[in-house]
Amino acid sequence: MSAVLISSDGGVLSLTLNRPDRLNACTPEMLAALREALDRAIDDGRVRAVLLTGAGKAFCAGQDLSLRRQDPGAAPLDLSVSLGSNYNPLIRRMRELPKPIVCAVNGVAAGAGANIALACDLVLAARSASFVQAFSKIGLVPDSGGTYFLPRLVGMARAMGLALLGERLSAEDAEHWGLIWKAVDDDALLIEAAELARALASGPTRGYGLLKKALYASPGNLLDAQLDLERDLQRQAGFTEDYREGVAAFLEKRAPQFKGK
């Protein structure tokens, strides 16, 4: 059984974490499969949006801790190897992907699983889902971008509380705190997330890629640098066929037919 189910329809690449009996806990194979699917999506013109979710009752419980058992007296594990070769390349690939990623958090998202969700561009969560920065419970630091995403999304006070206490945050609180886009009824989650992904897949894909770049660069820039970046990215957006089509459709009072070019 493959650790990630991969399918494609109507411009949407669907990736489903598929270890439901282990709460979709991450293995190196799962992380590699995600990364490879996203690698292929970069230049595949048929893929214009990505939808990420989990099979079964959980979204993802983070690193599979059964692979981290250490015998007493054994040399300590060097966790930087796993982050450097598996987790960090995935998070970078997600943020740099020039196409929108929608995440449907169908159940608990813990540890790296929570931060993989937060690395997506639009996060929807089932009302019964929750987010847990579980790392401190096992003596670790939030990773997979957690220490970057959390203070930027919810402010330092809440980021610190989530990280230190490792308590569950409900989907509704996550929405109210600004951690995610939206909490939705459980039975509507996949329908709404798929609709959103389909809508994005018929949008101006290159413009979306450029706006991801602009927004994700913003926290590290002063206004001057951000204005320059906007100028450079808008130059590229203005050269796209979709911009031409968007303006023509507006003036002709019709719906635009974006081609992602």
> Two tokens at 64?
């599979």
H or E element that contains 209:
helix 205-217
CB of 67 to ligand LHQ, least distance (A): 8
> What CA–CA distance (Å, rounded) separates 225 from 206?
22
CB closer to ligand LHQ out of 66 and 70: 66
The contact set with ligand LHQ (CB under 6 A) reads: 22-23, 25, 61-66, 79, 82-83, 87, 108, 110-112, 132, 134-135, 138, 140, 143
Q: Do 4 and 10 meet the contact criterion of CB atoms below 8 Å apart?
A: no
- 106: helix, coil or strand? coil
> What CA–CA distance (Å, rounded) separates 224 from 122?
27
CB of 89 to ligand LHQ, least distance (A): 13
CB closer to ligand LHQ out of 90 and 200: 90
CB closer to ligand LHQ out of 138 and 160: 138
CB closer to ligand LHQ out of 105 and 110: 110
CB of 51 to ligand LHQ, least distance (A): 22
CB of 155 to ligand LHQ, least distance (A): 23
CB closer to ligand LHQ out of 148 and 236: 148
CB of 150 to ligand LHQ, least distance (A): 14
> Two tokens at 76?
């300590």
- 53: helix, coil or strand? strand
Contacts for 230 with CB less than 8 Å, ≥ 6 apart: 214
- What burial class does residue 230 get, using C-beta atoms within 10 Å of its C-beta: 0-12 exposed, 13-18 middle, 19+ buried? middle
